Amino acid sequence: MTVNGGVSFWLQQVGVPTPRPALPGDLDVDVAIVGGGYTGLWAAYYLKRDQPDLRVAVLERRFAGYGASGRNGGWLTNSVTGGRAQYVKTHGREAAIAQQRALNATVDEVIAIAAAEGIDADIRKGGEFEVALNPAQLARLTAAAASEQSWPATDVEVLDAKAAAARINVAGVQGGIWHPHAARIHPAKLALGLAQAVERLGVAIYEGTTVTEIVPGEARTDHGTVRAAHVLRATEGFTPDLKGLHRTWLPMNSSLIVTEPLAPAVWDEIGWNGREVLGDFAHVYMYAQRTADDRIAFGGRGVPYRYGSHVDQDGQTQQRTIESLTALLNRFFPSTRRAAIDHAWSGVLGVPRDWAATVGHDRTTGLGWAGGYVGTGVTATNLAGRTLRDLVLGQDTEFTRLPWVGHRARNWEVEPLRWLAVQAIYTAYHAADRGEQRGRATTSPIAKVADLVAGR
C-alpha cells in the first residue's frame, strides 16, 4: 500500500529525527537565521566555520530539513534559476558566465563538504540527462543544446536516439542532452547530516519555534524574541506565512512518487548505470533519479498552487497526482508497470514574480535573505550560504559580486489574479503536452502565458 504524505520517503527511510528543544525565551545573538533548511544551514555552517566567535542561532518551525530540503528530487545540479539571459540584460555576458561557473563549482563544493563532514548522502556524480520523446520536444532539445553550446562552462553533449537509449532506455526516446555538472543525492541524509555538522561547530538550532515576523534587529517567535545584528530569512516556500511577506514569493507545490526496489532484470532493461539525474523536455516537465537502493524516485507538478498562497504542511498528495505520475513513469519505463509505488509526497518551493533566485543583505538594517529557487535550490542554497557569509562579514568577494546578489522582484498580484495566472499557465502547458504527444505542434499562446506569469 502506498504511503501518502507524512513528510517524505527520504525522511521516512532514515527516520524522522528526535526534535531539538524549542527556543527557551528571549535571546541575544550576532546572527539569527530563520529557517532550518539547506539555505539556513549552509549560511550557519560557513559563518561559524569561518568566524568561530560569532553567536549564531537557527530558528525552525518544525525540524531541520522538514521542508523542501528533505522532500526534493535529489538533483545537485548547476541550473541558473530563471536562465542566464536575465543577467546578460542587467549585468552583461561576463556576469552571466560567472554565475554559471559559480554554480558548476558549487556542485563540487557540496560533494567536498559532505565528504569532509562525514555526511553519507548517497552522492553519485553522474551528470544531468534530459530526453525528448516526440518531435516537438526534440525541436526544443535541439534549440536548447545549440544555446547551451554557445556559452562556456556548460559542457553539454548531444545524443541521438540510439545513444540516448543506451544511456537510459526511456521508451520512445528521440534524443537527449547530457552535462557533467550534476549529482544524485539523498536529500534528507544531506539535510540531517548538515544540521549535525552545524551543531558540532557550536551553532544552536531551535526547533518547534515559529517565527511570525522579522524586523531589523529582531526575529519574533511564539517562544520569545531573538535579537541580533543580522537576521537572515531562509524560508523559501514558507515565506508567505511571515507577516508582511504574503506576496513576496508564491508557494508552488511539487510531488514525487518512489517505487519499491526494482529487480535486476528490470535494471538490465532500463540501464541507468551512470546514475544520472533524469529530466525531459515536456512543458510540464518530470524529474527522476535512480536511488542508492535501486528504486526510481519520479516527480513532477501535481496541484501546483493552492488559492491564497496556502502553504501545504503535511505533504499529502492527491490521488489523481499519484496516478498521473505513475502513468508517466510506466510510459517512460514499461517494465515498471508491475512495480509497487511505496510512497508519494509533496513539497513547497518558492517562486518569485520574475522566476529569478536571489540573495542579499541590507547593511543598514542587518536584514538578509536568500531563496526563490523555483525548484533548483539544492546547489544554489550552498552558493547562497557562502554569499550570505561574505555579506554579513562585510567582505567583497567573487560571491558578493555575482549578478543575483541584491536582486528584488516585484510582489505577486492579489488574489484571484495570481491563482488565475498559475492555472492559466499550467492548463496551457498540459494542453500543449497532450497535443504534442498526439503529434501536434505547440501553439504560440504557451509562451505568451508563460511570459505573463513570469512577468517578462
- Is residue 451's pLDDT more than 50? no
How high is the pLDDT of residue 334?
98
Q: 303: which residues sit within 8 A by CB, 6+ positions away?
A: 253, 318, 321
- Using a pLDDT cut of 70, give the percent of the chain over it: 93
Question: Residue 455 in contact with residue 353, Cβ under 8 Å?
Answer: yes
Q: Which amino acid is at 371?
A: G
Give the C-alpha distances (Å, rounded to integers) separating 394 from 91, 216, 388, 400. Answer: 22, 17, 10, 10
Q: How far is the C-alpha of 50 from the C-alpha of 337, rounded, in Å?
A: 51
The label of the residue with cell 531541520 reads 64
- Mean pLDDT, residues 381-392 taken together: 98
- pLDDT bin (cut points 50, 70, 90) of residue 449 is very low
Residue 302 pLDDT class (50, 70, 90 cuts): low
Among 9-23, 101-115, 207-221, 423-437, the range scoring the smallest mean pLDDT is 423-437
Instruction: Please give the pLDDT value at position 308.
Output: 60
Residue 410, judged by CB atoms within 10 A of its CB (0-12, 13-18, 19+), counts as exposed
pTM of whole model > 0.75?
A: yes
Can you give the pLDDT at residue 441?
A: 61
Residue 252: its H or E element: strand 250-259
pLDDT digits over 168-192, tens only?
999 999 999 999 999 999 999 999 9
| pLDDT at position 36 over 60 | yes
Q: How confident is the model at residue 293 (pLDDT cuts 50, 70, 90)?
A: very high
Instruction: Answer whether residue 405 shows pLDDT above 60.
Output: yes
Mean pLDDT, the chain, rounded, equals 92
Q: Give the chain's largest Cα–Cα span.
A: 63
Asked whether the predicted pLDDT for residue 272 surpasses 50, the reply is yes
Mean pLDDT of 385-395: 98
| Phi, psi for 388 (deg, rounded to 5) | -60, -40
Per-residue pLDDT band for 142 (boundaries 50, 70, 90) equals: very high
Dihedral sign, Cα of residue 419, residue 72, residue 326, residue 160? positive
Mean pLDDT over 63-88 rounds to 96
Residue of 251, 298, 252, 291 whose CA lies nearest to 272: 291
Share of the chain above pLDDT 90, in %: 84
Say yes or no to pLDDT of 386 above 60.
yes
pLDDT at 306: 67
Per-residue model confidence (pLDDT) at position 300: 92
- 238-242, 363-367, 384-388, 392-396 — which is least confidently predicted? 238-242
What pLDDT was estimated at residue 432?
A: 78
Picking from 167, 170, 190, the residue whose alpha carbon sits closest to that of residue 180 is: 167
Instruction: Provide the pLDDT for residue 433.
Output: 67
